[in-house]
Each structure stands twice: as structure tokens, then as C-alpha cells.
Amino acid sequence: MAKQADNKKINSKPIIIFPYLGYENNKKCEWYFWWTIDRCKEIDPKPIVMLPRDTVIRQHAASFIKDERYKTLEVIQTWSVDSCQTWLTGWGHVLDNYPEAERIVQIPGDIDFVDEDVSFYDNLSAFINTTSSDIAIGDFRTGDQYSAKSLVDTYGTYSLLANWFPEISRSIRSLPLNRPRSEFLNIKTSVLRELLINNRNFAYEQTLNFLIKCWNYEETKWKYDISISLLGTLSDNKSFRNYRASIDQIERIERMLSLLWREIRAPKKMDSVSDKTFEEQYTVFSNEYDKLYTKSKGIMDTARTTLRALLGV
């Protein structure tokens, strides 16, 4: 569980991701979105809302834009390939325009599937106010083992991460963290800046990418203080409970993990290392990659077969 917030006043900047499909016909999602806005206003009088341009063009944000409360927010409209790239745009906006901000709190604004667990809202409010760790991740359980989030993590994230980065996989579970792809993130801006500037950026799977970049591979421990806030239980949005969406996400995770493994594990040519020695090191690296890639293909094949059976495709 996350530590309690310090008494010291911390300058935090919240970012709420507007629902990609809007809330035009979803009163529960609309209620949650504005409830989140109110909670974020407790730490910042003018929270940032990231609004996808295609959502606006499709008229799925019409009532939001017409709402009088819209004027009390800083709304950033953006073109992004998916919600994770929207996160990246929001982070960059804060880093570029709010140098005084000490933390960024990112909250998904599209939750309309909280189980009958009223403690979720209290836990989320506490998470928004967390200031004592370098990185706080909002964790949650899913009420349905066959939901898209559960299927993607069970047959994709956990297995692929264990294949490419076994030490990190064990450490993530010991945090303990159930959802390494969580969209709930509360992070120091100094840490975020370091992660973004000194590493390759991805337009997807930002939290999982950060966890891999937060690992000290020489000392086999976390570089930063990571805390976990257990929020409660969420049921999955059934509109995304299908084979294609799950496979898309699993394939995306595999691409990122294999690329990061190559970047991290590839031998570096040093002046003190002879060409022959470097060639031998690179052969060892290439052989290890081929072994892991073969295992990864097997994991992907098993995931597709299992998902087809479970989803009745």
C-alpha cells in the first residue's frame, strides 16, 4: 500500500484522460469523470484534461465542450495513435509549461465499471494526494477473469515479461503489483523527465516501459522508490472484450519487450575490447536473443489459441 501523503504541500499537476468514446450516452462514466475532476481540484484548481481530436470530430465530446465546467479546466486537444501517446503529450505539456510542478498525477477518465466497492473512491482520492514515493502506481483487481485486461495480462504481460526480464518480473510481483500496465500513475516530475529524456519513448505501454527502465541491471534492484496503492476492483469495459483487441495489445507488448531487451543487453564496443572479443560477445548476445525469441513466439501462439477458446472465436 502507498505511504500516506506528507504534511508538506507538494505542487502536483493532475492530468485526466478524457474518455475516447466520450460519455454522451453513459451517465455512470460521466459521473465518474466529473467526480475525478473534483478530486483533482483539491490539489490543483485547474486540472489538465487531454482530449483526443478524433473524439471531438466524431461529436463524442459535444456535451463536455458545452458544459459550463469546461471553462474551469485546461483542455489540451491532441492527435494520438492511442491513449498511451495521449499520456506522453500530457506529460510533455506539463514538463514544458509548468517547471514548478513537483509531481504529475495521471488518471484515466473513462471508468464506468467500478464494482460495488465504495472504498475505490476513497482509495483513489488518497492516491491522487500521494507524495511520499518517487513513483506511485494505482493497482486494481478485475472482477472477471475473462475480461480483456485479465486475459491480456494473464496470457501476455506476465508470461512475456517472465521470458524477457525474469528478475523484473519477480520484483514486480513482490512489490506487490497486479497490473504492471496500470493507467493510474503518480510520479515525481524529476523522475519522469529523466525517464523520458534518457531513454527511448514509446507511444504505448508506458507504465510497463517505465518499470523496465527503473530497474538497475547491475545491482538488481529498483533505481527509485516505487509504491503501490491498491484501489479496489474494476470490471472491464465490455466493448473491448474481444479477441482482436486482446491480441493487438499482447503483440504490442511483445514488440516493446523484445526491443528493450536488445537495447539493454546488446554489448557495447569499448576501446579496450578487441574486435575479436566484441564479435564473440555479440555472438553470445545474438544466440541468447534467438532462444528468447523462440520462447516468445511459443508464448504468443499459446495466447492466441487460449484466447480463441475462452472468447469463443
pLDDT tens digits, one per residue of 118-165: 788 899 999 999 999 999 999 988 766 666 777 888 899 999 999 999
Q: Strand runs (DSSP E) across 143-295, as ranges?
A: 185-188, 215-216, 221-222, 226-234
pLDDT band at 199 (very low <50, low <70, confident <90, very high): confident
Residue 102, pLDDT > 80, answer yes
- 178 Cβ contact list (under 8 Å, min separation 6): 139, 140, 141, 153
pLDDT band at 2 (very low <50, low <70, confident <90, very high): very low
Domain of 118 in residue numbering reads as 12-237
Is 215 a member of any domain? yes
Distance CA 181, CA 62 (A): 30
One domain for residues 222 and 126:
yes
Is 244 a member of any domain? no
- The count of structural domains within the chain is 2
pLDDT band at 106 (very low <50, low <70, confident <90, very high): very high
Note the pLDDT of residue 98: 97
One domain for residues 145 and 217:
yes
- Is omega for the bond preceding 180 within 30 degrees of 0, making it cis? no
Q: What percent of the chain has pLDDT over 90?
A: 67
Residue 272, pLDDT > 50, answer yes
One domain for residues 90 and 25:
yes
Q: Cell numbers 536473443 label which residue?
A: 289
Is 5 a member of any domain? no
Note the pLDDT of residue 236: 54
Is 3 a member of any domain? no
**H/E stretch holding 51:** strand 48-52
> Average pLDDT, whole number, for the chain?
89
Distance CA 108, CA 182 (A): 10
The 10s digit of each residue's pLDDT in 53-77 is: 999 999 999 999 999 999 999 999 9
Distance CA 178, CA 243 (A): 22
One domain for residues 221 and 85:
yes
Note the pLDDT of residue 198: 84
Region 235-256: mean pLDDT is 77
Note the pLDDT of residue 8: 62
Burial 174-204 (b: 16+ CB within 10 A, else e): eeebbbbbbbbbbbbbebbeebbeeeeebbb
Give the residue, 274 or 64, on which the prediction is more confident.
Answer: 64
Distance CA 203, CA 193 (A): 16
One domain for residues 263 and 232:
no
Is 78 a member of any domain? yes
pLDDT band at 311 (very low <50, low <70, confident <90, very high): confident
Note the pLDDT of residue 3: 44
Asked if residues 156 and 303 have their Cβ atoms less than 8 Å apart, the reply is: yes
Is 245 a member of any domain? no
The reported pTM is: 0.89
Note the pLDDT of residue 149: 74
Cell of 136: 506511485
Q: Sign of the CA dihedral 115, 121, 124, 126? A: negative
User: Residue 182 is part of a domain; what is its CATH number?
Assistant: 3.90.550.10
* Percent of the chain as helix, strand, coil, to the nearest 5: 50, 15, 35
Residue 285, pLDDT > 70, answer yes
- Of 202, 237, 272, the position where a domain reaches its end is 237
- Of 237, 267, 301, the position where a domain reaches its end is 237
Cell of 113: 465499471
Residue 115, pLDDT > 60, answer no
Residue 4, pLDDT > 70, answer no
Note the pLDDT of residue 6: 46
Is 2 a member of any domain? no
**Angle, vertex CA 132, rays to CA 130 and CA 137, nearest 5:** 55
One domain for residues 187 and 77:
yes
Residue 1, pLDDT > 50, answer no
Cell of 312: 469463443
Is 247 a member of any domain? no
